[in-house]
A and B are shown apart, each in its own frame.
Chain A
Amino acid sequence: MYRFIIKKLFVALFVFTTSEALAQQIPVISPGRDFQALESALDRDSILIGDQIWWKMDLPREAWQDKQIEAVQFRSLPFDITKGVEALSPVILDSVYRKKRLEAIEARILLTSFDSGSYQLPHMPLYLKRMDGIVDTLWFKGPRLYVNTIQVDTTTFEPFGLKPQMRYPVTTGEILLLAGVIIIVAGLIFLIVRIVQRRRKNLPVFGQIKPGDPPHVAALKILESIRKQELWKKQKAKQYYTLLTDTIRVYLHDRWGIQAMEQTSAEMICSLRKEKAGDSLLTDENIGVLEKMFLTGDLAKFAKYTPSDSENKESLERAILFVSGTAVLQEDDNKEEKEE
């Protein structure tokens, strides 16, 4: 039964919205004295001249419950709903479902007005045509609509202009937030600049490089550790000579600025001979000692030569002799020596 009613209601809605002829057949009746009106509402109470507003009417389920309805019909609207209020749209019907059940029918009309004042909208009839031909009339109460005009400056008889943008006072919180952002950005910029600058100079980002040991001290320390490792006894002569020659290469770089890591043994000796003129500590004897060490080193590294234990020790002694013989002693070292 229920399904039948709903079905019929839909048919009625469809017929209503598409057929003008049906509307002609339904008589227009004025509300009686004891009529019970349903509530209707406007989107808002008042509008400005020319504003548009929706007038909404809800038909609850209770209005047609237990009745077999064939059609639902609103009165066909005149252009003026009432004097001064105009309808911009026909009655738009919509159905409201809840849990797949038709709960209500909504109707709405778009209104506007071009005259200021207070308007009482008329009661709006809704016709429910039953299956047995009886037509029930339901009334929606007409609400009151206030239409306001634009305020006019009485001194100039011109409308007031738009209100200027309101300037709010800046709060402490906003100032602190801005200051925080500025500090963070400035900090980041400073950090990036510092990283780039320090990287270029090959320095750590923060702090200072502790002055390292003088080249000869650093070299002698490494040579001493090489001696302690005694790699040649572990059948690692090649590794031993690689460490030995690399230590001397680093020393040559730190002591004379020779790019020894990228030079061959012969080139290093050649570079040292060039430095000899400006360095009294660099003698032919020193260079000769180093040359012998390099020669043994090259044989061990590149010629599968296995030097004897005495040769290995001798090479280390030669390296130490060269470093000690060419060491530039600083003032502190001299003092210590004097104290001793």
Chain B
Amino acid sequence: METVNIKELNERIQRESAFVDIMTLEMSKVIVGQKQLVESLLIGLLANGHILLEGVPGLAKTLAIRTLASVVDAKFSRIQFTPDLLPADLIGTLIYSQRTEEFQVKKGPVFANFILADEINRSPAKVQSALLEAMQERQVTIGEHTFPLPEPFLVLATQNPIEQEGTYPLPEAQVDRFMLKVIVDYPKKDEEKLIIRMNNTGEFPTAAQVLKPADIRKAREVVREVYMDEKIERYIVDLVYATRNPGDYNLPDLKPLIAYGSSPRASISLAIASKAYAFIRRRGYVIPEDVRAVAYEVLRHRIGLTYEAEAENIVTENIITSIINAVEVP
């Protein structure tokens, strides 16, 4: 029988999660609005999960990631994915040195703590595969040598939902490797007014460096310790199962709309992301609200829609909403 001292854990989380507020504050100096985006970046950072950002150009996707990297004392790489990019441009290659008459390893930009894979769908599958393999394995092989990637290692990929001509959409199996898919929306009116003012004055505040990679590693350990009751586990499984067999959850109307449901990786991601969310909320235990808060980000890219659903302009968010409204909360 697992014994957890929740009181002690809560106190520990109160202590360890103090940086969350500071970090959010620093990021809000640079990013106007986009609280959901900032929170999702934090969840990804704490849950050790990669994030796929999708939004039209100009919504501060790249800025948010760059700011996150600047808040942490960590190495940051930005890779602009283009159609002529090669895997070697990403992971590195062997270069022959005439002086030493030996091949030397030239590490690529993937050897960084934070990777911004900008417009990931602009590169062909071989480059995407190289990055996604590094994401999964957390190591890269160049020639005969295998190099572990630094910790923390977080890939934040962006893709543009419009201008699909000449793009290489990520296959479902590779999209599944991203823990979260965050849809970045337009700022509110007041926020946009503030953005104009900032640009007019030309004064762009910068975020201070408040964290070290070791702090993140420590926080991740605490996140893993966040208590998740069996009732919550069952709730997570129910949500994921409902994407596969909606008929079992009194949702027969969804069956013709879903081509395939979420994988077990979705259950794992939902559990760890819920823990990270509880940590951000300074709680040592997960409640159903935490699961619901991250459900859209975790599940939206893991549900396949049928042609029928696409013809009816149904998106995965509609499916998730129906499931959340139908599955009983513990």
Contact = CB atoms under 8 A, between A and B. Distances in A.
Nearest to B292: A264
Given A303-B284, A305-B6, A264 B289 contact: yes
B329 A263 contact: yes
| Nearest 10 A/B pairs, CB to CB | A303-B285, A264-B288, A302-B229, A264-B289, A303-B6, A302-B287, A261-B328, A304-B6, A302-B285, A264-B329
A242 B288 CA distance: 14
Nearest to B284: A303
Interface of B: 4, 6, 227, 229, 231-232, 283-289, 292, 324-330
Contacts of A267: 289
A298 B287 contact: yes
Nearest to A266: B289
A301 B292 contact: no
B304 to A, nearest CB: 24
Contact of A303 (B229, B325, B327): B229
A263 to B, nearest CB: 6
A104 B287 CA distance: 100
A259 interface: yes
Given A259-B325, A262-B326, A262-B329, A302 B286 contact: yes
Interface in A94-129: none
16 contacts: A242-B330, A261-B329, A262-B324, A262-B329, A264-B287, A264-B289, A265-B288, A265-B289, A298-B287, A301-B229, A301-B231, A302-B231, A302-B285, A303-B6, A304-B227, A304-B285
B109 to A, nearest CB: 42
Contacts of A265: 287-289
Contacts of A304: 4, 6, 227, 229, 285
A108 to B, nearest CB: 72
A262 B229 contact: no
A284 to B, nearest CB: 21
Interface in A218-277: 242, 259, 261-267
Interface centre among B283, B285, B324 (most CB of A within 10 A): B285
Interface string A298-310: 1101111100000
Contacts of A259: 325
Nearest to B283: A303
